[in-house]
Structure 1
Amino acid sequence: MSRCPKCEHLPPLDNLPSLKSLTLDNFNSLNYISDEMAESSSFSSPSTTFFPSLKILQLFDCPNLKGWWRTCRDAELVPQFPCLSNLTIRNCPNLTLMPTFPSLDMKLYLSNANIRPLHQTLKMKIMTATASTLPSTSSSVTAPFSKLKTLRLEEIEDLLSLPEEWMQSLISLENLTVSNLSNLVSLPRELQYVTTLRRLQIWSCSNLTALSDWMGNLTSLEYLDIDNCRKLESLPKVMRQITTLQRLIINDCPHLSERCGHDMAADWPNISHIPYIMIDRHQIQERGRYLLEEEGDSSASTEVQL
């Protein structure tokens, strides 16, 4: 559903048991997705599952959206999406209360969004850990996001760092993008334990000053892209330990460009093993072959001919 600027609330969509994908786009007046009180919604019945088939949920450009329900007496008792796989929330900065989403296994993309629903879902880890000590609890219960493959966070003003307890659960994560997080000063140390990570993109984090030595523990990392991080001063020496790294792309990072831009630069010994290197949109190395040397030889030959 798209471009309904006067719509303020929707009917109880959880009454559609076969609904697999839901997109709300450009609902400028939408305050709540359902006008019903949470206590009277279908999830209050133990025999009914809340959105039993929903796999994909996308919320775009709903600037006045505050919550899933107009009335909810206890935010700790909200239902969860039982099989949600892919969640995108973009330009919904006031959305603070919604069903939790611990089952995500494909993608979580938050852009200009409130961080509270994420923290609410993370709390489920504590409840799961407590419940797991009970004899009647099924052993198949897993922590939130333990199967998540792709995570993208951007333009979240109140995010000072990635939640440490969250990093410990991301045991399947392969793709991580952090973008336009102006308050982010460092990546969390716990990220080093996400050894499944293959692709890391760091874009426009204006106060990020350093990458730590623990990056050497990212033993599956294949792709590193750093863009517009102007305070980032250098790459750690342990970069040479990441033998899986196939591509390094650095754009608009003046300190890094100076330290990585050619084979005599300070950080070159730490990255020279990477087959593909691009600095400020210029290809420096391709398939392990240093290209600037060839350009220099070509220039020298031209000068001799003159």
Structure 2
Amino acid sequence: MGKLVNLRHLEIEDTSLKFLPQGIGRMSSLSSLSKFIVGGGCKIEELKNLNLLQRKLEIVNLERVTNKDEAKEAELKNKQYLRDLQLSFEWNDSSEMSEIERIEGVLEGLEPHGNLNELRIESYIDHKFPIWMTKGTTLSNLRVLVVNQCNCVQLHFLESLEKLEIRSMPKVKLIGCEFLGIDSSDGVDRLFPKLESLKFEGMFDLEEWDLKMKNVMPRLKHLTVTGCPKLKQIPTLGNLEVLKTLEISGISSFECIDEELMGVSNGESIPTVVFLKLQKLGLHNCYILKSVPECIMSSSAIRDLNISACPLLMWTQSCLSPLLETLRLFNDAGLAQLKSLQRLHIRFCKKLECLPEELQHLTSLQELEISSCDILGPRCQKGGEEWNIISHIPNIQVDQKKI
């Protein structure tokens, strides 16, 4: 294969290959190589002369690299055209210090070029990241960082980041100043000044999250917290002035989302307007969640409300935003749970198109009033698209006219 010296593109991303043949290092004209598999006679040093590689490169089976010096032979620092790099180890739960230090050295030797925009690290067992990840000058152009199934308990801040995803870090129990490698978030000015998207997923032992979010991430627009069953609280979010999307899923220890979430102390009144930019709110698999403040649910900015598997969650009809465009109620979080519901009023939902099918199973429902719903109203007339769902309800009014 090494004879194909003029080959420019080698795509093996969706193949079942477990090894690569020797000689790839002689294919110095390659500009795209989707995946590089270490092992089987193909050592990582084969990457040394492939300095024309562009866009994305995934390197897997890095646990087969012997040490730091061997890793440095790849000379990733010279790959100035690479923009997206994924470094993957095979998961190894070894607690032997020699093995941990070896893996640390391997990652240390894989320092990329400063032009890199996206970095993904998989199954790294050491407790700290390499020096090149902690120096802001090394990765000054990094926009996206994804860390998956790693043992690290500390993530140093990178000022250029716009998107950060943390997945399956079993050693992390507290997200606070120590996790970011700082002394305190008090008085800290914009640790992540450009960060717009933050996601925590599968953090099964995470119990606490204690940060002053506005100080740390003032431009955060999208926040997702999913699969963190032991998490007892999340930090104040009400002062995140540009937050647009909030997704909370699989936090089974949450009983309520209260005033503290919005930065309101005991005894203070809840502000009438919070989350001015919040457009999408999702609550999923929060099995003991009982309440969400009305001023969040009724925020005039919310266009998309998505609730599933929150069987104890209760709210009143006044909670729904009049500008709501999409309402999704799934599983036991839907209207089917409201067996005693007698009256349902839907008003000023200008873009709401249809009703949930569970509505036809609410046998206690006596009154349905729909007003100022330009699309839904005509669909709820006799013979309309929604009539089969609501025909069992004794009293139906659409725009103050009895049907």
Q: TM-score normalized by structure 2? A: 0.50
Change (3 A) 1:245 1:63: farther
CA distance in 2, matches of 1:245, 1:235: 24
The match for 2:72 is none
The match for 1:232 is 338
CA distance in 1, matches of 2:148, 2:347: 45
After superposition, give the CA deviation of every residue in 1:1-32 in whole Å (9 maximum; x if it has no partner). 242242322134352332211111122x2333
CA-CA distance at 1:236 after TM superposition: 8.1
8 Å CA contact 1:225–1:248 kept in 2: the answer is no
Of 201, 204, 224, the residue aligned with 1:109 is 224
Determine helix, strand or coil for the equivalent of 1:59: strand
The match for 2:199 is 88
CA-CA distance at 1:274 after TM superposition: 7.8
8 Å CA contact 1:192–1:214 kept in 2: the answer is no
Which of the pair is proportionally richer in helix? 1
For structure 1, the 5+ residue unaligned runs are 35-49, 123-142, 278-282, 294-306
8 Å CA contact 1:212–1:236 kept in 2: the answer is no
Mapping of residues 259-274 of structure 1, within 5 Å: 259=362, 266=365, 269-270=368-369
The match for 1:13 is 134
CA-CA distance at 1:174 after TM superposition: 1.0
The match for 2:317 is 213
Change (3 A) 1:53 1:74: closer
8 Å CA contact 1:200–1:221 kept in 2: the answer is yes
The match for 2:116 is none
The match for 1:130 is none
CA-CA distance at 1:173 after TM superposition: 0.9
CA distance in 1, matches of 2:366, 2:340: 7
Output the amino acid matched with 1:212. T
CA-CA distance at 1:266 after TM superposition: 2.5
Bigger relative contact order, structure 1 or 2, given CA contacts below 8 A and separation 6+?
1
CA distance in 2, matches of 1:267, 1:224: 22
Change (3 A) 1:195 1:275: same
Structure 1: which 4+ aligned runs deviate by more than 6 Å? none
8 Å CA contact 1:177–1:201 kept in 2: the answer is yes
CA distance in 1, matches of 2:143, 2:212: 16
After superposition, give the CA deviation of every residue in 1:57-110 in whole Å (9 maximum; x if it has no partner). 111122222447467654646663212101111112426456834424431111
The match for 1:56 is 163
CA distance in 2, matches of 1:3, 1:284: 52
8 Å CA contact 1:276–1:288 kept in 2: the answer is no
8 Å CA contact 2:274–2:295 kept in 1: the answer is no
CA-CA distance at 1:161 after TM superposition: 2.0
Change (3 A) 1:291 1:153: same
CA-CA distance at 1:243 after TM superposition: 3.1
The match for 1:184 is 289
CA distance in 2, matches of 1:200, 1:193: 10
Mapping of residues 31-46 of structure 1, within 5 Å: 31-34=153-156
For structure 2, the 5+ residue unaligned runs are 1-119, 263-270, 390-403
CA distance in 2, matches of 1:292, 1:213: 22
Mapping of residues 156-305 of structure 1, within 5 Å: 156-164=251-259, 166=262, 168-191=273-296, 193-208=298-313, 210-215=314-319, 218-227=321-330, 228-229=332-333, 231-233=337-339, 237=343, 239-248=345-354, 250=356, 256-259=359-362, 266=365, 269-270=368-369, 275=375, 289-290=385-386, 292=388
Output the amino acid matched with 1:88. K
Q: Which moved more, 1:80-89 or 1:233-242?
A: 233-242
CA distance in 2, matches of 1:115, 1:81: 24
CA distance in 2, matches of 1:20, 1:185: 37
CA distance in 2, matches of 1:267, 1:203: 25
After superposition, give the CA deviation of every residue in 1:123-154 in whole Å (9 maximum; x if it has no partner). xxxxxxxxxxxxxxxxxxxx732211111111
Q: TM-score normalized by structure 1? A: 0.64
Pairing 1:146–2:235 present: no
